[in-house]
Amino acid sequence: MRNTLIILLTLLTSGLVAQNKSTIFYDSVGQVTTWEGHWAQVVTGRYKSVYNKSENKKTLAKTTREEFDTELRKTEKKITKTNKLGTDFPEFDLLDLNGNRLTRAELKGKVLVLNFWFIGCSPCEMERPSLNDLTKVYADNKDVVFISFAKNDKEQLTKFLAENPILYNVVPTDKDFIKTQFEINEYPVNIILDRNGKYFFNSSASGVGILTILQRQIDKALKG
């Protein structure tokens, strides 16, 4: 409930509050889609949600540059956390779903882009396409590593990711690990670590333009 409330507040200006259980959602090409699928396209910043009250449906319309910039500023203000910046991120030594060992120590010298989520988290699902697009921006940059910490076990993730691919290195964890090891209690969370393993960017929740926000921060971290 807390996670859903955060995303509702982040997207409030797009008219999300007008929806109800019988609202029909459409994607950018006019096909019926899910609630998450509709809002995932709004999160990219390329579209805004338009509510037709008489037909109780939500369609998508392209945003203007001015509209995107306005929503981007609102998202950045809502999600950015200033605590912990410049401090060491906790050590970790874990295996991803492909059996690759990931440790903070061995990844020193690289910019780490971390995402924390779990299956069934609607805001996490909404930002997933944008995060996948983000990995493509840095596909040829070996100095940027994307790691996704999921609060689910290997079996659950393997089944889920078969239909909902995530292009980060996905690390399964138990339900308490993320909370005790990283002090994270709400989802989704996106964190960027500088080349020395320190918090460079810290955020909670998601919203319109998350790809742009993270890309700007990654570029700054790469410049040192």
Predicted pLDDT of residue 174: 86
CA separation for the pair 159, 164 (Å, rounded): 9
Inter-residue long-range contacts of 60-66, CB under 8 Å, 24+ positions, other chains counted: 60/26, 60/27, 60/28
CA separation for the pair 130, 124 (Å, rounded): 10
Tell me phi and psi for residue 49, to 5 degrees: -90, 130
Q: Tell me, yes or no, if the pTM score tops 0.85.
A: yes
Q: What are the tens digits of pLDDT across the range 40-59?
A: 999 999 999 999 999 999 99
Q: What are the tens digits of pLDDT across the range 182-198?
A: 999 999 999 999 999 99
What is the per-residue DSSP string for 12-36?
GGGTGGG--TT-EEE-TTS-EE-HH
Q: What are the tens digits of pLDDT across the range 168-177?
A: 999 999 878 9
**Alpha-carbon separation of residue 153 from 38, 96, 105, 118, 125 (angstroms):** 28, 11, 24, 10, 17
Report residue 8's pLDDT band, with 50, 70 and 90 as the boundaries.
very low
CA separation for the pair 13, 25 (Å, rounded): 17
Strands 80-81, 57-62: parallel, antiparallel or unpaired by DSSP?
A: unpaired
Q: What are the tens digits of pLDDT across the range 64-77?
A: 999 999 999 999 99
Predicted pLDDT of residue 181: 94
Report residue 1's pLDDT band, with 50, 70 and 90 as the boundaries.
very low
35 Cβ contact list (under 8 Å, min separation 6): 19, 25, 122
Q: What are the tens digits of pLDDT across the range 83-121?
A: 999 999 999 999 999 999 999 999 999 999 999 999 999
Predicted pLDDT of residue 85: 97
- In the chain, residues under CATH classification 3.40.30.10 are 81-223
Does domain 81-223 correspond to CATH entry 3.40.30.10?
yes
CA separation for the pair 48, 63 (Å, rounded): 6
Which residue matches tokens 């209690």? Answer: 185
> Mean pLDDT throughout 120-124?
95
Residue 192 near residue 79 (C-beta atoms within 8 A): no
C-alpha Rg value of the chain to the nearest Å: 18
**pLDDT exceeds cutoff 80 at 2:** no
